[in-house]
């Protein structure tokens, strides 16, 4: 079952500059919410607040009713939160399989160093994790690349590897940052099907930042539109695309961020 994510009056400032102001919304368990808006709207900053990379100046962030504002990313992982990034941070010299297995370390016994040394008390868990990682790669159509070095593969495939790694955490809440950026048409279609399956088969709650409105329209149950750090509207993708305020925000002159 997916987690419930609740934000109330989340604000963020850097050096007196308001990046986010009183942003609030709730994501129902097992649903997909799109976070959209023009460049500079504050989407990635809000993701960084939810995932523990930024600490908001004010507000509340709760997962299943538990306050998590101020927790570090590793602590949030134990609350079931996983995140992908616009630019995946992989260990390029390591194999694809090894990169995916890394996603399990926060929920399994032993440290990454102990795993690397193949110590006895981690051996069983490591074998199980490698089997699970290979299964995820097969599901994503990447079983053939399991033993290849990550730097031998394309940017689009790096995103699939990062998604597999995040799923190794067994998340109940998954944040996807620009997952379709730089993907081919075929890769985008595959991504859409995978996200729908995650929601339908595993009930994972998903929040996705994405500029491709076709993707947003196909996968989201609801969207939140940000503009200049404030929530502009909330509704379905169709309602957002028809809202004059949203049209003006996208067509107006925006600061780049």
Q: Which CATH architecture has domain 5-80+171-251?
A: 3-Layer(aba) Sandwich (3.40)
The pTM of this model reads 0.88
Phi, psi of 63 (to 5 degrees): -115, 120
Strands annotated E in 150-246: 173-177, 205-209, 222-227, 230-235
Q: Is 99 helix (H, G, I), strand (E, B) or coil?
A: helix
Task: Answer left, alpha or beta for residue 143, where phi above 0 means left and psi between -120 and 50 means alpha.
Answer: alpha
Break the chain into its structural domains and give their ranges.
5-80+171-251
Tens digit of each residue's pLDDT, the chain (257 residues): 789 999 999 999 988 889 999 999 999 999 999 999 988 899 999 999 999 999 999 999 999 999 999 899 989 988 999 998 877 777 777 888 888 988 887 777 666 667 666 677 777 778 888 899 899 898 888 889 888 888 888 777 888 888 899 999 999 999 999 888 878 888 888 888 888 888 888 889 999 998 888 899 999 999 999 999 999 999 999 999 999 999 888 866 444 34
> Is 96:142 a contact under the CB 8 Å cutoff?
yes
> Is 185:209 a contact under the CB 8 Å cutoff?
no
> From the CB of residue 21, how many other CB atoms can be counted at a distance below 10 Å?
18
Strands annotated E in the chain: 5-14, 17-27, 32-36, 58-63, 66-67, 81-83, 173-177, 205-209, 222-227, 230-235
């Amino acid at each position: 079952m997916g987690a419930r994510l609740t934000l109330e009056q989340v604000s963020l400032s850097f050096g007196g500059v308001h990046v986010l102001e009183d942003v609030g919304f709730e994501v129902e368990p097992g649903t997909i919410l799109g976070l959209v808006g023009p460049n500079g709207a504050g989407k990635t900053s809000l993701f960084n607040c939810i995932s523990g990379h930024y600490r908001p100046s004010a507000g509340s962030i709760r997962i299943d009713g538990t306050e998590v504002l101020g927790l570090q990313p590793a602590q949030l992982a134990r609350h079931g939160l996983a995140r992908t990034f616009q630019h995946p941070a992989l260990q390029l010299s390591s194999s694809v399989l090894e990169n995916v297995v890394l996603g399990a370390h926060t929920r399994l016994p032993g440290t990454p160093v102990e795993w690397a040394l193949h110590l006895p008390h981690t051996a069983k868990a490591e074998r199980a994790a490698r089997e699970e990682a290979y299964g995820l790669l097969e599901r994503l159509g990447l079983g053939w690349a399991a033993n290849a070095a990550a730097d031998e593969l394309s940017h689009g495939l790096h995103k699939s590897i990062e998604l597999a790694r995040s799923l190794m955490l067994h998340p109940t809440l998954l944040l996807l940052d620009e997952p379709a950026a730089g993907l081919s048409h075929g890769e985008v279609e595959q991504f859409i099907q995978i996200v729908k399956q995650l929601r339908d088969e595993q009930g994972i709650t998903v929040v996705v930042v994405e500029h491709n409105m076709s993707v947003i329209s196909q996968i989201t149950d609801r969207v939140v539109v940000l503009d200049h750090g404030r929530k502009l509207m909330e509704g379905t993708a169709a309602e957002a695309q028809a809202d004059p305020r949203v049209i003006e925000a996208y067509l107006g002159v925006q600061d780049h961020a």
